[in-house]
Amino acid sequence: MNTTVDRFLQYLRLERNLSPRTVDRYRRDLQQWIGHETRGKADIDLASVTSNDIREWLIERASCGDKPATLRVRLQALRALYRYLLRIGLVDVNPAALVELAKLPKPLPTMVRETTVNAILDADIDSDDFTQVRDRLIVMLFYETGIRLSELIGLQDTAVDTAKRELKVHGKRDKDRIVPFGAELQSCIEHYRTLRAGVRPVCDNLLVTDKGRPLYPSLVYHVVHGGLAAAGGTGKLSPHVLRHTFASVMLNNGAELNSVKELLGHESLAATQVYTHVTLSELQHNYELAHPRALKKGG
C-alpha cells in the first residue's frame, strides 16, 4: 500500500474517528484501485491520476460484475482520498469529484390490489365493537386520504370536520394541509365517535386505544398488516403501502398529478411522479392479462 494512502487511512481512524469496519472498506477499495493503476509500475503517482483513469477503473469493475451501489462506494473512497490530498497540499484538483456517481435504480412503490382493501372494508364486523370499528377506520383513513402513519397517530379530533368532509393534517416540516374525504368515511368516523364516547378518551386524538390513550406505531402496523394479510394480501403489508395504494388509485381514476401531490403533502412534484410509473406498469400488466394477442410472439 502507498505510504500516503496509509496516512490517509490513519487520518480516517484517528482524526475522523471512523469505525474500523469503514476504514477497512476504504482500505480494500483503495488497494484494488492502486493495483489497477500500478500494473507495470513500481508505485502510483497520485498527482498524475486523471478522471479518465478513474472512469476506466470503474468500467473494469463493472465488467467484473460490480453493481451500481458497489461502484458508488468505490468512487466515494477515491473522492475522500483526494479531498485529504487537497487538504494537505499534495494535489491541486480532485479527479474523482469530476466522475459522476453510478445511478442507483429506484424501486417502484409497493402497493396492494384494490380488491384486497375492499375485502377489508366490505367485510362484516360487529358494529357495536369499538375495536373492530376503530380498526376498520384506521385502514379506511390510510386508503381514502393517503396520510402517513405519524399523521394518523397525531390526528386531532378537532381537525376532522365531518360536516365539511375534510381533515386537517399536520405533516412533515410542521406544514398543515387539508384533505377531503367521502361519505363512506364520514359515516364511519361519526359512528366511531359515538362508540369512543363510551371509552372516555384521555387525549385529544381522533383515534385512541380501548383505554382512551393515543395510538402507537406498532399497534397501527399490526392492525394494517393483520387486516391485509387476512384479506389475501402478500408481500409488504404496511400503513405506507396503503398510502402508495391511495396515490396509485387516484391517478388510475383520473386525478391530476399536482392534486395528488397536494393531497400527499409532497414538497416537490418529482416525489409524486414515481406513481405515474406504477400506474403505467399496472396498465401494462392489465393489458397483457386482458388482450388476447398481447403476449403473442412475432413471426
Could you tell me if residue 103 is inside a domain?
Answer: no
Domain that holds residue 154: 114-290
Domain assignment present for residue 13? The answer is: yes
Report if residue 146 sits inside a domain.
yes
Phi-psi region of 146 (alpha: psi -120 to 50; beta: other; left: phi over 0): left
Residues 65, 168, single domain; the answer is no
- Domain contains 231: yes
> Do 87 and 132 have their domain in common?
no
Residue 1 confidence (pLDDT) above 80: no
What is the structure's pLDDT at 200?
Answer: 86
Q: Which of 53, 69, 98 is the last residue of a domain?
A: 98
Long-range contacts, stretch 270-278, CB < 8 angstroms, 24+ apart: 272/247, 274/106, 274/108, 274/109, 275/109, 275/244, 275/247, 275/248, 275/251, 276/251, 277/108, 278/108, 278/109, 278/111, 278/244, 278/248
**Amino acid 285: pLDDT:** 54
Phi, psi values for residue 294, rounded to 5°? -60, -35
Examine the domain organization and report whether 119 and 206 are in the same domain: yes
Please provide residue 176's backbone torsions phi and psi, each rounded to the nearest 5 degrees.
-100, 150
211 — pLDDT class (breaks 50, 70, 90)? very high
> Is 172 inside any structural domain?
yes
Please determine, for residue 299, whether its predicted confidence score (pLDDT) is greater than 50.
no
- Positions marked active-site: 148, 172, 240, 243, 266, 275
Report the C-alpha gap between 152 and 210 in whole angstroms: 17
Query: Do 164 and 219 belong to one domain?
Result: yes
Percent of the chain exceeding pLDDT 70 equals 89
Half-sphere exposure at residue 234, Cβ-oriented, CA atoms within 13 angstroms: 0
Cell numbers at residue 264, please? 400527499
pLDDT per residue as tens digits for the range 78-122: 999 999 999 999 999 999 998 988 777 666 678 888 889 999 999
pLDDT at 277: 65
Number of domain units in the chain: 2
Which pLDDT belongs to residue 232? Answer: 86
Q: Are residues 78 and 128 in the same domain?
A: no
Judgement on whether residues 129 and 91 belong to the same structural domain of the protein: no
Q: Does some domain include residue 296?
A: no
Element (H, E) at 167: strand 166-170
Q: CATH number for the domain including 87?
A: 1.10.150.130
The pLDDT score that the predictor gives to residue 176 is 93
Q: Is 295 domain-assigned?
A: no
Residue 154, domain CATH:
1.10.443.10
- Backbone torsion region of residue 233, taken as left when φ is above 0, otherwise alpha when ψ lies between -120 and 50, otherwise beta: beta
Yes or no: say if 196 and 131 are a contact pair by the CB < 8 Å rule. Answer: no
For the question of whether the overall pTM of this predicted structure is more than 0.75, the answer is: no
